Amino acid sequence: MDDMEPTSPIPFSNDTHYFASYQRVLRGKDTIENLVQAFPALEQKLLTSSSPLTDHETRQLLDLPDANDEAENINRIGSSRPREELLSAALSNPDLLSDEELQLLSNGFWSEDNDIGQEEDLDLDADMDDETPTEEEQDRIDRAREAASHHELEAFEKATMAIILRQNERDDEQQRAHYRERLNRPIPTWMETLSHRIRAEFPMRNTYWGYVAFLDADTRALGEDKLDLFFSSMESILYAAMGNNGACACLLDRSWRLEVLNAPDGVGRYSHLRKVFRSLVDKDGGEESLSLEDGGVMSVTPYGDDVGLSAVDAVKQAPGLLTNTFLVIDKTCVESVLEQPFLDDMRIMAVDADFVDDDDAAASSKDNDTYQGWTWVRIEQLVNRFYGARIRVEGNSPRVGMDEIWNAAQASRNGAFVSMDPEVARVWTESTTMTGQEQPFYGVE
């Protein structure tokens, strides 16, 4: 409030309904008219510091219960802590507080009488759009409340955050226990490591792992309805796979992401796509990068959320995407998912982003019997052995080279990578999306 010049009290417009949601109003402790009329004088006291606000005036401005009601609400939840101790703990160490204490603070010391004031609230909502404070009035209210609050508002906010974090931790533990109980195999080490890294390095932000995929022009020509069905089917397959392979037990299903970008029209050569991809992962937004004008960005996650971001920004927000590998969604991939029933026949093309070949025409052919910088991958292995093989380790190199992966894939049906283990690579079952994956456990790679 130091930047505000002392002035005479400035009245509010009589129709200001900022105070309509105040618990003091909803519970009959005050009226909107009374608060609108009282505010200029309370603001003036704070501006001039001529005299401190009384306890009642502070409670009016901060929307707190009267002192007796507040004490009763604290006692009602069985807390032995006085008011100041509750506020101090919320600010310094919310873990000291019980769920009930945190909830009371989050409610601003109001009890959870959810039925109080509902009729009045509904009556007010009808006219709220026409009777909201002006921007100037809103700013005055916010600054006055901040000046009147010694630490109450900050404590209430921290209590709310503590409730959210505590519930998230409980949900996390419940999911871990559920999926670990149903697993018949150890969780791959790379999943445990990746999960720990995501939570240790990026605890307060959304961080993703997965791939960038290019949708080629011929595939886009299949039409929106068919592509929607493809992505929906692929999403279901990948989510089911994560439930069976340990990813859900590590909470990795929540951060999986496939950034699907429209490849520039007329681009069929992998060398050009590699240049485009490098401009994305290098985050320079160079002339080869894609933008919304090139077809946009469609993000496919197990929860189906789309984002309207440029391709460069999308990759910047997903530092867990592989930077040595990208995927190409072509008609063979789409048909393998939509036109045959068996999970073990569904496949997608993975391209080595660092592969160099002077004969790019040969490297773009799908009929070569030697490694040309790409390989087919069985769909469910995108979130299992393939990602585990390509994730970077110390020295910034992938655990397994793409040429080694291609060699291993030659033992598998359709030449689609399943495992580095020759025995596992030869496994093919008649599992479908209806029966679920029936492949037996052969060991963790």
Angle between helices 99-106 and 83-92 (to 10 degrees): 100
User: What is residue 343's predicted lDDT score, i.e. its pLDDT?
Assistant: 92
Q: Pairing relation of β-strands 325-329 and 347-352? A: antiparallel
Predicted confidence (pLDDT) per residue in 264-288, tens digit: 766 556 888 888 888 777 765 443 3
Exposed, middle or buried by CB within 10 Å (0-12, 13-18, 19+), for 62?
Answer: buried
Q: Give the per-residue pLDDT at 287.
A: 39
pTM: 0.74
Confidence band for 364, pLDDT divided at 50, 70 and 90: low
pLDDT (tens digit, 9 = 90+) per residue, 398-414? 889 999 999 999 999 99
Residue 199 confidence (pLDDT): 79
pLDDT at 117 over 70: no
Q: Which of 107-116, 139-148, 179-188, 241-250 has the lowest mean pLDDT?
A: 107-116
> Which residue in the block uniquely carries the two structure tokens 């992998």?
270
Which structure tokens are listed for 421?
A: 């283990």
Our CA dihedral for 125, 131, 134, 140, rounded to 10 degrees, sits at -70
Query: Residue 327 in contact with residue 212, Cβ under 8 Å?
Result: yes
| pLDDT > 70? residue 426 | yes
